[in-house]
């Protein structure tokens, strides 16, 4: 081995064209990425703000190195948006839309890196475009929108190390991994998968050099403030995960249904490319990139046996679609099989078009219900929550503004002295986040809640002698806790989740000082 700070580059297979660019194919990929961006921008304002978006904005007003249920990047970005381009639906969802377009383009780029020629890059990009879960993630401001870029950024660095032997690129791997940890913790599962692949392939020679270890240190140092935040508070994220597991809130699938939902959320026809990718990585043409094949298998099996939510694996699929498209292109090189290329692409596109209204709010609520019945669309559930006429993803974009108006009408009707000491208590971060976002327009004070990170922001000086209570599903319990309970109104939004269409109460005379009972009513779930 040479004394240069690099290892010998991996040999290229007969079908590996390395970093060559095929202008025509990448032009088609660029058009697909642009179309993806336009689609998301056109659809963005059709419904309303998503429950989690309101919570991210609330967390962004309390910048910190950590939060009960998430690392800090999403709230930091929310803070930045609020202080720059604003928080309209267009502004809030610009980053997810851009991320979705970039991942479409990056998927085509992966195919080129794997040796794809004219067909593979745009077929891979089409497959990721037509994946319902990617359409959905590109529509909402959540941490799921940009985490695929970080997962695939790590994979791309490994590809460049394999091709160039430049070990210093591990430093960039560390930076991307560090940002990924600060964005969403599940990238650690992918990192473990990749490390398994490193151990099982010739890339393990990197372990004898300092650069990979320095990259790991960089990632660790970047994540350290968040770790210390969790440590100082007794790891509330782990408490949250345990509470969710015991409550049975999340849908937990056995292996076969898990695989079935993976195929469904990624487009059943396009998912065939994933099986082709596994063959690609573990046969001769994809051997130089086998580390990524092991990374996928270990991550997939870990998520399956831990019974993670179906969309947790979504960030790993761009490289799989790309590798599968390269394999498909290779297998159909014979003239007698080339007819299958446009046919397969057309079928993926057709199924993708059919699934668009189920992934993003392309249709009005009423038209969506009619369409779902006509096409017999039954969306998979990832939480055991009450479901109304709309699926949970769409229902959580409804009811928040009307709820805030109802609270404001009553709040502003109170005598000034009572109004001054009346707090607005949300049992869920969605209700509290809606009050915080829409409330100032109606003269409402910030909400209080003991749910998730709202717990750490405290009762804001309210004593409990007068509370407007949102999201209380147990009125008997409330009457036991308050001297007087009055029903203000009952929400009735036909498109919201059923558990949001419940009464709003005015609790007068909480029987214990709010600051004293605050720790006992904390709920991380």
Q: What is the pLDDT of residue 9?
A: 58
Q: What is the pLDDT of residue 381?
A: 65
Determine the average pLDDT of the residues in 249-276: 90
Q: What is the pLDDT of residue 208?
A: 97
Determine the average pLDDT of the residues in 360-380: 88
pLDDT digits (tens, 9 = 90+) for 285-327: 999 999 999 999 999 999 999 988 889 999 999 999 999 999 9
Q: Cβ distance 285 to 117 under 8 Å?
A: no
The answer on pLDDT for 248 being more than 90 is no
DSSP string, 224-286: HHHHHHHHHTT-HHHHHHHHHHHHT-B----HHHHHHHHHHHT-TTTTHHHHHHHHHHTSGGG
Q: Cβ distance 180 to 144 under 8 Å?
A: no
Q: What is the pLDDT of residue 65?
A: 97
The answer on pLDDT for 12 being more than 50 is no
Determine the average pLDDT of the residues in 180-191: 97
How many angstroms separate the CA atoms of 199 and 294, rounded?
Answer: 10
Q: Cβ distance 351 to 130 under 8 Å?
A: yes
The answer on pLDDT for 460 being more than 60 is yes
Q: What is the pLDDT of residue 252?
A: 74
Q: What is the pLDDT of residue 337?
A: 93
Percent of the chain at pLDDT above 70? 94
Determine the average pLDDT of the residues in 401-407: 97
Binning pLDDT at 50, 70 and 90, where does residue 124 land? Answer: very high
Q: What is the pLDDT of residue 8?
A: 52
Q: What is the pLDDT of residue 25?
A: 83
B/e letters for 162-175, b = 16+ CB within 10 Å, e = fewer, are: bbbbbbebbbbbbb
pTM of the predicted protein model: 0.92
What are the φ and ψ backbone dihedral angles of 523, each rounded to 5 degrees? -140, 120
Distances (CA, A) of 23 to 83, 105, 109, 127: 40, 13, 11, 20
How many angstroms separate the CA atoms of 447 and 219, rounded?
Answer: 36
The answer on pLDDT for 431 being more than 80 is yes
Q: Is the dihedral of CA 385, 387, 390, 395 positive or negative?
A: negative
Q: What is the pLDDT of residue 281?
A: 97
Tokens coding 129 = 């475009």
The answer on pLDDT for 84 being more than 90 is yes
When the pLDDT of each residue in the chain is averaged and rounded to a whole number, the result is: 92
Lowest mean pLDDT of 148-162, 165-179, 493-507, name the range.
493-507
Farthest CA pair distance, the chain: 84
**3-state class (DSSP) for residue 216:** helix
- Please provide the distance, in angstroms rounded to a whole number, between the alpha carbons at the two ends of the chain: 53
Percent of the chain at pLDDT above 90? 85
The answer on pLDDT for 203 being more than 90 is yes
The answer on pLDDT for 16 being more than 60 is no
How many angstroms separate the CA atoms of 389 and 395, rounded?
Answer: 8
How many angstroms separate the CA atoms of 52 and 214, rounded?
Answer: 36
Determine the average pLDDT of the residues in 360-369: 93
Tokens coding 21 = 């660019």
Determine the average pLDDT of the residues in 280-284: 96
The answer on pLDDT for 14 being more than 50 is no
Binning pLDDT at 50, 70 and 90, where does residue 377 land? Answer: confident
Q: What is the pLDDT of residue 296?
A: 98
B/e letters for 259-286, b = 16+ CB within 10 Å, e = fewer, are: eebbbbbbbebbbbbbebbbebbeeebb
Taking alpha carbons only, the member of 357, 408, 460 closest to residue 132 is 357
Q: What is the pLDDT of residue 227?
A: 98
Q: Cβ distance 471 to 502 under 8 Å?
A: yes
How many angstroms separate the CA atoms of 447 and 459, rounded?
Answer: 9
The sheet with strand 503-510 has its strands ordered as 423-426, 466-470, 503-510, 482-490
Lowest mean pLDDT of 55-69, 175-189, 385-399, 436-450, name the range.
385-399
Binning pLDDT at 50, 70 and 90, where does residue 5 land? Answer: very low
252-257 long-range Cβ contacts below 8 angstroms, 24+ apart: 252/307, 253/307, 253/310, 255/304, 255/305
Contacts of 241 (CB under 8 A, 6+ apart): none
The answer on pLDDT for 438 being more than 80 is yes
The answer on pLDDT for 19 being more than 70 is no
pLDDT digits (tens, 9 = 90+) for 327-348: 999 999 999 999 999 999 999 9
The answer on pLDDT for 97 being more than 90 is yes
CB atoms within 10 A of CB 385: 15
């Amino acid at each position: 081995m040479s004394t240069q700070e690099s290892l010998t580059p991996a040999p290229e297979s007969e079908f590996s064209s390395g970093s060559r660019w095929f202008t025509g194919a990448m032009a088609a990929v660029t058009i697909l990425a642009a179309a993806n961006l336009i689609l998301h921008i056109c659809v963005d304002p059709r419904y309303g703000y998503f429950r989690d978006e309101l919570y991210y904005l609330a967390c962004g007003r309390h910048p910190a190195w950590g939060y009960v249920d998430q690392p800090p990047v999403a709230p930091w970005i929310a803070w930045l948006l609020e202080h720059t381009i604003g928080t309209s639906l267009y502004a809030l969802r610009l980053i997810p839309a851009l991320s979705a377009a970039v991942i479409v383009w990056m998927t085509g780029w992966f195919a080129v890196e794997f040796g794809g020629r004219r067909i593979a890059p745009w077929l891979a990009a089409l497959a990721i475009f037509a994946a319902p879960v990617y359409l959905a993630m590109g529509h909402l401001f959540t941490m799921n929108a940009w985490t695929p870029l970080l997962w695939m950024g790590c994979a791309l660095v490994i590809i460049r190390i394999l091709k160039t032997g430049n070990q210093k690129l591990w430093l960039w791997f560390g930076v991307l991994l560090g940002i990924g940890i600060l964005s969403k913790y599940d990238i650690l599962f992918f990192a473990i998968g990749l490390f398994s692949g490193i151990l099982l392939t010739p890339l393990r020679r990197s372990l004898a050099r300092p650069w990979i270890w320095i990259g790991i240190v960089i990632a660790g140092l970047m994540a350290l403030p968040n770790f210390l935040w969790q440590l100082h508070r007794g790891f509330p994220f782990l408490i949250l995960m345990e509470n969710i597991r015991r409550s049975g809130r999340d849908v937990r699938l056995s292996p076969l249904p898990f695989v079935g939902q993976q195929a469904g959320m990624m487009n059943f026809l396009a998912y065939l490319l994933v099986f082709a990718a596994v063959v690609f990585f573990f046969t001769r043409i994809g051997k130089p990139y086998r580390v990524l094949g092991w990374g996928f298998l270990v991550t997939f099996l870990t998520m399956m046996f831990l019974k993670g939510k179906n969309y947790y694996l979504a960030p790993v699929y761009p490289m799989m679609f790309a590798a599968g498209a390269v394999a498909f292109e290779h297998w159909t090189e014979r003239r007698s099989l080339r007819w299958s290329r446009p046919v397969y692409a057309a079928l993926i596109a057709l199924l993708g078009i059919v699934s668009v209204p189920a992934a993003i709010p392309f249709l009005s609520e009423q038209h969506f219900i009619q369409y779902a019945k006509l096409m017999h669309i039954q969306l998979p559930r990832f939480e055991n929550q009450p479901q109304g006429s709309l699926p949970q993803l769409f229902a959580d974009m409804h009811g928040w503004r009307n709820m805030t108006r109802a609270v404001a009408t009553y709040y502003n009707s109170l005598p000034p002295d009572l109004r001054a000491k009346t707090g607005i208590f949300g049992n869920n971060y969605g209700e509290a986040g809606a009050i915080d976002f829409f409330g100032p327009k109606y003269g409402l004070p910030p909400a209080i809640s003991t749910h998730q990170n709202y717990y750490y922001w405290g009762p804001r000086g309210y004593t409990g002698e007068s509370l407007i209570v949102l999201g209380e599903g147990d009125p008997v319990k409330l009457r036991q806790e308050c001297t007087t309970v009055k029903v203000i109104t009952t929400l009735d939004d036909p498109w919201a989740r059923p558990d949001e269409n419940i009464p709003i109460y005015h609790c007068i005379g909480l029987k214990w000082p709010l600051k004293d009972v605050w720790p006992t009513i904390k709920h991380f779930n």
